[in-house]
Amino acid sequence: MRIDVVTIFPEYLAPLELSLVGKAHRAGLLDLRVHDLRTWTTDRHRTVDDTPIGGGAGMVMRPDVWGEALDGLLGDDGAVELLVPTPSGERFTQRTAERLAAVPRLVVACGRYEGIDARVAEHYRARGVPVTEVSLGDYVLNGGEVAALVVVEAVARLLPGVVGNPDSLVEESHGAAGLLEYPVYTRPPQWRGHDVPEVLLSGHHARIARWRRDRALERTAERRPDLVARLPADALDADDRRL
């Protein structure tokens, strides 16, 4: 998969060279390219923004500069998806990450200030480019760069070969079960007066699986009742319903 990130702060994306995503990049599992938006400016000051038409505070990113950048990166064949992080986008979830992990090419356009002139998304949609505006959550960041880091990491770890043991993608929070993950423990079994739950030391796989499922349900009900409300009717088995 190829991901191009366009930003006025390419250094912000440096952490993508670390850890699993960095390794995936070096191994050729992920073709990651970070571009400086100012490369596509033509004036002496390398201007990327201007005042909002209609008035108001802050600055808006200019459509002409973004147009120059995106024309080349998106091409004409509709095979590349454009992702624009913005607090006014649709919520970015594990489902979004799963969908994007199946896309061959993605361009992430990082806005700053009050965002990118609205005609940019409108123009590429009209040209047949799939455009998704995504929000990480209900809060405002200073720009799309941190969101781009989140999106690239969430997508890259789903690509084949990136996470060493693919089993670790199966039971995690926001996975197929629609529940938060159960609590996890390692050695030592006693630590500062806190014991690992007895059942986990029992070696009884069915009892361990039941205990984990109960804790996942309990935790989800307590911390994210919205997720429980969204579970499909057949998501709960007879033992779950007794809870």
Residue 7 lies near ligand ADE (rule: CB under 6 A): no
Residue 132 lies near ligand ADE (rule: CB under 6 A): no
Q: Which of 28, 47, 39, 35 is nearest to 5 (CA)?
A: 35
Is residue 141 marked as binding? Answer: yes
Q: Strand, coil or helix: what is 2? A: strand
| Cα(214)–Cα(216) distance, integer angstroms | 5
Residue 61 lies near ligand ADE (rule: CB under 6 A): no
| Cα(42)–Cα(48) distance, integer angstroms | 10
Alpha-carbon distance values, 230 to 134, 136, 184, 236 (Å): 21, 19, 25, 12
Contact pick of 18, 57, 140, 206 for ligand ADE (by CB under 6 A): 140
Q: Which is nearer to ligand ADE, 109 or 216 (CB)?
A: 109
Is residue 80 marked as binding? Answer: no
Is residue 143 marked as binding? Answer: no
Q: Which is nearer to ligand ADE, 70 or 217 (CB)?
A: 70
Is residue 138 marked as binding? Answer: yes
Cβ of 138: how many Cβ atoms within 10 Å?
Answer: 7
Task: Count Cα atoms within 13 angstroms, Cβ side, for 190.
Answer: 1
Contact pick of 8, 70, 85, 213 for ligand ADE (by CB under 6 A): 85
Name the segment binding ligand ADE (CB under 6 A); options: 46-54, 135-143, 160-168, 190-198: 135-143
Question: What is the identity of the amino acid at 233?
Answer: A
Residue 116 CB, shortest distance to ligand ADE, in Å, is: 11
Instruction: Give the number of residues in contact with ligand ADE, rule: CB under 6 A.
Output: 12
Residue 136 lies near ligand ADE (rule: CB under 6 A): yes
Cα angle: 31, vertex 167, 214; to 5 degrees = 130
- DSSP class per residue in 73-111: HH-SSS-EEEEEEEEEEEEP-HHHHHHHTT-SEEEEE--
Is residue 140 marked as binding? Answer: yes
Residue 135 lies near ligand ADE (rule: CB under 6 A): yes
Q: Which is nearer to ligand ADE, 50 or 114 (CB)?
A: 114
Residue 87 lies near ligand ADE (rule: CB under 6 A): yes
Tell me the residue nearest to ligand ADE as measured from the CB.
85
Where does this chain bind ligand ADE (CB under 6 A)? 85-87, 135-137, 139-141, 143-144, 147
